Structure 1
């Protein structure tokens, strides 16, 4: 389907079947039809909702007698063949006091700067809202065309605690002309959108399954998914690799769009490869006649034109593509509506044509896409959550792919760090250009210093015995560096002076944004971290801990060279549950969701949510699974294990030369074994995953694993090569998993362990063994990806023979134990040649 820019006779005819009654808030109308000028405001680009509410309440209490606060308006307007119900609330209504004076409507807007310093586009938008309120009030009171109405903006500067009134008087016909122009703009778009939606629903109803037949387990998954999408609720699905999770969830979801009241689908995936699979699946469905519009969101740093070097900021630090953004947006919106695939490339092409910010343009298209494909953070992260999802009048479905990653990702979203060194660098970057911001950041550095001194003093005091939130102090010495660590519950004492200093910094930043100015680009990442700190602190609850670290480096001028405060989230289940409530139905699926009771708790799903475990679609003889308990990979035994592993890897490779991957628990262990292997088998080509590798380096690594090659790769378990990559056919014929994948022992994991034990769980299992098992299962799942694949998985660790792990193996695994290298060689020979 091409661009839906004009209304064809077929579209006009289709519109006659549509319901022409539209309920619309004044805010929605103004935001869509009256916005113009620059795209301004990032991070905390203005007062918070709580600050605004408090200011409104104070000013409303001061209103004169006879006036009314929160005056409700709801009027029906006939416009362009539609019946529109406009609704809203005026902050203060002053009824007409006598025949010589007009009635007056007041609108309160909170700012951090005097109104004359606000961006003109922001002032115009505020006045537009008040003028449409005036139009509605005139309808309600049956004004004649020349009836006057006084409108007053009350700009309340929170910093000065001062109100700046600005009054204008309009004749009602002026307000009517303004409001009907805005309505006409909105309704023209509404007709296009409704015509597109009708076409989508019609094509979804008749859409055939895009393959000749279902794989084993696919129909079961599709039926369960459809029922959940139709009836609402939650569904947890463990679907083994190769079952076709994407088509088995997307196809019933699209059918539900055509056959139920479902309005929009949101598909979440943690990996770029997952988005690519959705794109390919959507293209296949489009070829079958589907007209669904798919919007694929990409991270800001990979989309922003300034980051990509396609434009540069002006002298005020503003990107030129944000200047006049809303003046050019309508044309881009019309051009993109109804496009089948709104990929980052398609968005960028339209953004280049009209010189718009591509990332902002993609966000503007969110309400006008039928299927949104994006990362977890667009739904769950409090900093980047799509605000449009809070409109619960629409029915949306949430599909969560690779759900095993969600718990850790969500805990990171609700955690934050603030360091002294980064703050000092931010202050230095503001020197000369932004003196007020520099002073605010320097105050933050002093507040961090003061907090650490308080911790050092309080750390000497005895805490009540047995109290789980007691203060802990740990000294660590490494290369002459001393680290002191304090862990407290926020209820025992939050760093309030640090919080006040953070608020002061973000207040200065907000003042800059409100004046269409920008802080230095060099501190953009630091500001995002600062805003996350403020947001997390406001949301923090009993499952958060405050970790304070101080490092002392000898022979330096400053006694404390580095200080850091971390707000650590130990469980994000409650936050996830709040996000699920915005959706009609939620389906979470992955190849590794074990054990179900633990996964349900971690993901914040309802305890009664159905759990569906599907069998593998592949034959058991396609996978040779060999447990080798004669290897001890625990840290203290790794030096002795190296020679054993080198022999095991060589035996596996020589049993059937091809492409193999060996996954290690750490880079240090990987390098240790790699050195030994290269020394003993220099003839076997060996490639290694590099720490912190870039996208080109990752691509170069994967290029070694093509059909017809014989590459041996060493990689990190749980890393980019162990999840979300399809090694089909001869691209990978075997994987060796070294160790059980336990996370590294540190204070965060130990706190997580303790928190789980307080909830009645086995802390070691929840914090270490279950996450490790997920890594193992994901890694092992890389080998068999299609009906024609055949390969081997070697589990190299004596713990794999433990009953704990045996009980959690997938049903389609049939492990064979090999107690020494000779037994492994015999078993491999039998698998490949028997």
Structure 2
């Protein structure tokens, strides 16, 4: 974990951030401009530097001060013989299409670096050059100007002066924030049972700069029990930001409410809620540029006032950001991204820190922030991490694209299709795994992407949505191909088409996200992963890439065994071949419990098909008992209606799928839910993909079955059972329906406070 030495209060700003703050003007313009990828940019910089004479210096580290401001960064290159400093920018397409406000920003960066270099070497004058390098033609366009050191110093001081007032206010805000945090008391007279243990572990992790994996039961107040101690560690450890990352949208409300409660106690904390672009956009029918959207026109001119107004509010949830954006006529989504730079606590989805191009992680690295990360419901991070580092290409989409593709692109797509066809199995195997992505396919994919990007660059007024989507999908696939390793699978799935035609879906399927997530943990000062189900800890540490120094705790449950009757129906098998025979005894068991104790129950099954079969069996024998069922693809309104049936002292049974929307993250306390039936061990489906994942888990960890099937399955079971007891006053019952629950290995993975009673046949 990062642990930089503590220094005297000083505001540090990167050259790029300084210039963006002081020199960025005009419209927000997100028209499709096919910028080079990061790797292409690195390669372009290397090409330019490789053309320079001996003695040329690359990546020159520079820094300078202005008042309480420390400015630092790396200039792209310096030629000491000619005293020429270069700022290199890679691009595609027509040089004349680079917007003027972009060039102005580039010149501002060059001038700041120019002064810092003059200061470092005591130069009286220096030549500055903007080197625009076309990665397709490999041609350089150079804009060079000679400047007196005094002129550059004046520019540097002017741009710093414009930022210094802001920086000094930021330092004053931080001082006031940290003073208040030092005096902050826990908002309740005492901690809940287990909450103090969790809070102490979080504080120690923040104090020592380590990761913490905390299994903590529902009902102890995990949200406040993690936020409060991490905030208390801010002053001593000089932390810059706190990122609270829930697994789902619904998980944002609790941390926002807890932070609002702390702010209500006089804490001057800037709290920001980040929401997805499609939920924040005010004009979804308009493109993101000044000629289309009124909130993009002059965005950077109005941004300072909007930024100041939003920060003055302090509590910047979605509604507050939207109000500030509306008052100043700027885009609320991009205003929130700007506010992330100046907030103390940010609440947003996992992807804002853990994804490939994550906003919060990128800002953390660029600004060298010291951050504390809180990942809620962290048992979800394995699957979410896998999806972030997986990519898929469908040949049927390529075929549709080829038919309508413009001529300059079609030939490249045809070549890609031929390379794709070569991946089909001659024997027609429906699914197979290849050891790597063949070079021929990679080359064809790169060329097709280049052809698309060149066409879109040359025809900006003829933007084709399908071509854009193909380009982004292809580049994502290519990016992951470059980092392919034993952590992922490359598989080919055959898909039937019309007539005798066959298509293939290609997937770079991440199995273990640890190699990718490990750097995210390393770049944080501390990270706390917490959930009610993080057992066994070694499974999560291995698959998520937690460092060896990670501390694990298992917080004792505040619940008593007598609150929850756990009954094991070990005489029933829910294995696929036995499901037809299981329906009648399951229906009888559910009916008997309901007749004995009427109330609201949830019944969980392994699939929608099994659910429908069980529902039909139950209704045929018990037509008087109210039932309602989860359906495939339920929208938010339908989900709300499903949960609305669970009223206090209501009666009925909701049929749901284990691992779905109603198996975790919902709160039905008291008499709203008095019991659950779990008719499955929760194991992932037995299919070729999961069998390949099991083989890979076996090769890496030596525990293929447990890591692929058993641990993820039991995690779902415990999560679903956790819906029943939500407070220390609740009473309820859980039925575990499957003979495999009788196995010692399975029983050992259940919560230790459960007392499981086996039912007679």
Query: Shorter-chain-normalised TM-score: which range?
Result: over 0.9
Paired position in structure 2 for 1:111: 91
> Does structure 2 retain, via aligned residues, the 8 Å contact 1:316–1:518?
no
**1:368 Cα deviation (Å)?**
1.0
Q: Name the CA shift for 1:662/1:566 in 2 (closer, same or farther; >3 Å).
A: same
Paired position in structure 2 for 1:91: 77
> Does structure 1 retain, via aligned residues, the 8 Å contact 2:603–2:678?
yes
> Given the alignment of the two structures, is residue 592 of structure 1 paired with residue 560 of structure 2, yes or no?
no
> Given the alignment of the two structures, is residue 325 of structure 1 paired with residue 305 of structure 2, yes or no?
no
TM-score, normalized by length of structure 1?
0.84
> Given the alignment of the two structures, is residue 365 of structure 1 paired with residue 342 of structure 2, yes or no?
no
SS of equivalent residue, structure 2 residue 263: helix
SS of equivalent residue, structure 2 residue 137: coil
> Does structure 1 retain, via aligned residues, the 8 Å contact 2:419–2:440?
no
**1:75 Cα deviation (Å)?**
6.0
Among 723, 745, 750, the alignment partner of 1:804 is 745
**1:237 Cα deviation (Å)?**
1.1
Q: Name the CA shift for 1:680/1:312 in 2 (closer, same or farther; >3 Å).
A: same
**1:82 Cα deviation (Å)?**
3.6
> Given the alignment of the two structures, is residue 135 of structure 1 paired with residue 115 of structure 2, yes or no?
yes
Paired position in structure 2 for 1:408: 383
Paired position in structure 1 for 2:691: 750
Residue segments in structure 2 that go unaligned for 5+ positions in a row: 1-6
Paired position in structure 2 for 1:161: 138
**1:171 Cα deviation (Å)?**
5.2
SS of equivalent residue, structure 2 residue 530: strand
Among 640, 665, 670, the alignment partner of 1:699 is 640
| Cα deviations by residue, 1:675-734 (Å, 9 ceiling, x for unpaired) | 222222222221111101111111111111121322311111011111111111111111
SS of equivalent residue, structure 1 residue 390: helix
Mapping 1:713-728, distance limit 5 Å: 713-728=654-669
Paired position in structure 1 for 2:232: 255
Mapping 1:328-339, distance limit 5 Å: 328-339=302-313
Q: Name the CA shift for 1:258/1:314 in 2 (closer, same or farther; >3 Å).
A: closer
Q: Name the CA shift for 1:198/1:494 in 2 (closer, same or farther; >3 Å).
A: farther
> Does structure 1 retain, via aligned residues, the 8 Å contact 2:87–2:130?
yes
SS of equivalent residue, structure 1 residue 495: helix
Distance 2:460 2:421 in 1: 39
Paired position in structure 2 for 1:356: 330
Bigger Rg over Cα: 1
> Does structure 2 retain, via aligned residues, the 8 Å contact 1:688–1:713?
yes
> Given the alignment of the two structures, is residue 204 of structure 1 paired with residue 181 of structure 2, yes or no?
yes
Distance 1:401 1:314 in 2: 33
Distance 1:238 1:251 in 2: 18
Among 725, 743, 756, the alignment partner of 1:784 is 725
**1:253 Cα deviation (Å)?**
0.5
> Does structure 1 retain, via aligned residues, the 8 Å contact 2:647–2:672?
yes
SS of equivalent residue, structure 2 residue 86: strand
**1:530 Cα deviation (Å)?**
3.4
**1:671 Cα deviation (Å)?**
0.7
| Cα deviations by residue, 1:393-429 (Å, 9 ceiling, x for unpaired) | 332111111111111111111111011223345567x
Among 409, 425, 435, the alignment partner of 1:489 is 435
| Cα deviations by residue, 1:129-157 (Å, 9 ceiling, x for unpaired) | 1222333345456677xx7x543322111
Distance 1:32 1:779 in 2: 48
Q: Name the CA shift for 1:748/1:28 in 2 (closer, same or farther; >3 Å).
A: same
Mapping 1:241-320, distance limit 5 Å: 241-307=218-284, 312-313=286-287, 319-320=293-294
Among 496, 507, 513, the alignment partner of 2:453 is 507
> Does structure 1 retain, via aligned residues, the 8 Å contact 2:452–2:467?
no
Q: Name the CA shift for 1:71/1:757 in 2 (closer, same or farther; >3 Å).
A: closer
Paired position in structure 1 for 2:203: 226
Q: Name the CA shift for 1:590/1:505 in 2 (closer, same or farther; >3 Å).
A: farther
Paired position in structure 2 for 1:99: none
TM-score, normalized by length of structure 2?
0.92
Distance 2:411 2:592 in 1: 62
**1:668 Cα deviation (Å)?**
0.4
Q: Name the CA shift for 1:75/1:794 in 2 (closer, same or farther; >3 Å).
A: closer
> Does structure 2 retain, via aligned residues, the 8 Å contact 1:443–1:501?
no
Q: Name the CA shift for 1:40/1:737 in 2 (closer, same or farther; >3 Å).
A: same
Residue segments in structure 1 that go unaligned for 5+ positions in a row: 1-17, 97-102, 461-472, 476-483, 821-834
Q: Name the CA shift for 1:405/1:113 in 2 (closer, same or farther; >3 Å).
A: same
Among 57, 70, 82, the alignment partner of 1:69 is 57
Q: Name the CA shift for 1:802/1:503 in 2 (closer, same or farther; >3 Å).
A: same
CA RMSD of aligned residues (A): 2.9
| Cα deviations by residue, 1:44-83 (Å, 9 ceiling, x for unpaired) | 8522333333333333343457x743384746454xx546
Paired position in structure 1 for 2:16: 27
**1:759 Cα deviation (Å)?**
2.5
Q: Name the CA shift for 1:351/1:447 in 2 (closer, same or farther; >3 Å).
A: farther
Mapping 1:547-566, distance limit 5 Å: 547-553=491-497, 555=499, 559-560=501-502, 562-566=503-507
Paired position in structure 1 for 2:419: 451
Distance 2:157 2:23 in 1: 11
SS of equivalent residue, structure 2 residue 733: strand
> Given the alignment of the two structures, is residue 530 of structure 1 paired with residue 485 of structure 2, yes or no?
no
> Does structure 2 retain, via aligned residues, the 8 Å contact 1:448–1:563?
no
Distance 1:376 1:71 in 2: 32
Mapping 1:598-617, distance limit 5 Å: 598-617=539-558
Q: Name the CA shift for 1:691/1:806 in 2 (closer, same or farther; >3 Å).
A: same
Distance 2:289 2:267 in 1: 47
Distance 2:8 2:436 in 1: 53
Among 619, 624, 633, the alignment partner of 1:678 is 619
Distance 1:761 1:44 in 2: 47
Among 705, 718, 736, the alignment partner of 1:795 is 736
Paired position in structure 2 for 1:733: 674
**1:119 Cα deviation (Å)?**
1.7
User: Which shifted more, 655-664 or 771-780?
Assistant: 655-664
Distance 2:504 2:161 in 1: 57
> Does structure 2 retain, via aligned residues, the 8 Å contact 1:489–1:544?
no
SS of equivalent residue, structure 1 residue 644: helix
Q: Name the CA shift for 1:522/1:347 in 2 (closer, same or farther; >3 Å).
A: farther
Paired position in structure 1 for 2:41: 52
Among 650, 659, 675, the alignment partner of 1:709 is 650
> Given the alignment of the two structures, is residue 423 of structure 1 paired with residue 403 of structure 2, yes or no?
no
Distance 1:600 1:238 in 2: 12
**1:582 Cα deviation (Å)?**
0.2
Paired position in structure 1 for 2:4: none
> Does structure 1 retain, via aligned residues, the 8 Å contact 2:210–2:549?
no
User: Which shifted more, 738-747 or 388-397?
Assistant: 388-397
Q: Name the CA shift for 1:443/1:770 in 2 (closer, same or farther; >3 Å).
A: farther
Paired position in structure 2 for 1:120: 100
Q: Name the CA shift for 1:522/1:269 in 2 (closer, same or farther; >3 Å).
A: same
**1:649 Cα deviation (Å)?**
1.5
Q: Name the CA shift for 1:780/1:474 in 2 (closer, same or farther; >3 Å).
A: farther
**1:22 Cα deviation (Å)?**
4.5
> Does structure 2 retain, via aligned residues, the 8 Å contact 1:75–1:139?
no
| Cα deviations by residue, 1:367-387 (Å, 9 ceiling, x for unpaired) | 211111121111111033531
> Does structure 2 retain, via aligned residues, the 8 Å contact 1:420–1:445?
no
